[in-house]
Amino acid sequence: MLRFLATLSSLNLWVIFLAENLLVTALALLFGWLILKLNKKPIKPASSTEILICLLTNIINTAITYAGYWLFKHKYLQLTFETNWTILRDFILLFLLMDLAMFVFHYLIHHSAVYKVVHKFHHHYADPIPIDLFVLHPFETVSFGALWIIMLMLYSFNFYAVIIYLTVNVFFGVTGHLGIEPVPAAIRKLFPFRYLGTSSFHHRHHLDINHNFGFYTNIWDKLFKTYKA
């Protein structure tokens, strides 16, 4: 696949990366819709503003994808392609490091003037629906993308671990914006669920902006006393 991409023009790469991002968005929204349907929750239609911002987010994410590929092509960003235990190791490493980095970034935004200008836009949706995962201020989308690329440049991660991480990232993003908790309380008390950022965990953050800044886990919130059940 990477060899094929290397033969394409910049325009063709942009088209492919845009199609990829739109496909991921469509699958994410379909997944969210199915969970809401299975839980018999009325599905609130997205507003025209949400749809437009979602499309803008996809365009920005396409630019970030292209930037990441350009850095990889010019060897500023290194990846490995072994199919062995490093896939699991690198996935866990990415999962925890990105969770910590985004917790810090998220916490700092909420405790600065940036919140009122940038992140408050996302919190306009106190009762989120799946598309709100992609409804972010453009500056915030760029910032998260830059954080992701910087993380990849720090270490030569396994390519397949990166793909798994990106899939898990979308999964957590969608479930965090369902507006319901599909996982029964009894299961959420079990390992590893009691340490994960469940739907209700992130929904609580939309209702109370002073708590639950984590994305994939609640570990950092519990450690830094910002956790609220």
Report pLDDT digits (tens) over 34-93.
999 988 887 788 889 889 999 999 999 999 999 999 999 999 999 999 999 999 999 999
How many CA atoms within 13 Å lie on the side-chain side of 58? Answer: 21
Question: Which has the minimum average pLDDT: 68-72, 131-135, 187-191, 202-206?
Answer: 202-206
Check whether 202 has a pLDDT greater than 90. no
Cα 41 → chain centroid: 23
DSSP for 167-222? HHHHHHHHHTTSSS--S-HHHHTSTTGGGB--HHHHHHHHH-TTS---SSBSHHHH
Q: What is the pLDDT of residues 165-201, one digit of tens each?
A: 999 999 999 988 887 778 787 888 888 888 998 888 8
Average pLDDT of the residues of the chain: 90
From the list 157, 166, 1, the residue with the least C-alpha distance to 77 is 157
Mean pLDDT of all residues in 152-172: 96
Q: What is the pLDDT of residues 86-104, one digit of tens each?
A: 999 999 999 999 999 999 9
Which residues contact residue 151 at a Cβ distance below 8 angstroms, ignoring those fewer than 6 apart? 94, 97, 98, 101
pLDDT at position 201: 85
Check whether 113 has a pLDDT greater than 90. no
- For helices 86-110 and 159-175, give the axis angle rounded to 10 degrees: 40
- Kindly state the helix (H) or strand (E) to which residue 79 belongs, with its residue range: strand 79-80
Mean pLDDT of all residues in 117-130: 72
Mean pLDDT of all residues in 1-16: 86
Q: Is the pTM of this model over 0.75?
A: yes
pLDDT at position 53: 93
pLDDT at position 123: 66
40 Rama class: left (phi>0) / alpha (psi -120 to 50) / beta: left
- Higher-scoring residue by pLDDT: 88, 136: 88
- Percent with pLDDT over 90 in the chain: 59
pLDDT at position 152: 97
Task: pLDDT band for 124, please (50, 70, 90 cuts).
Answer: low
Check whether 22 has a pLDDT greater than 80. yes
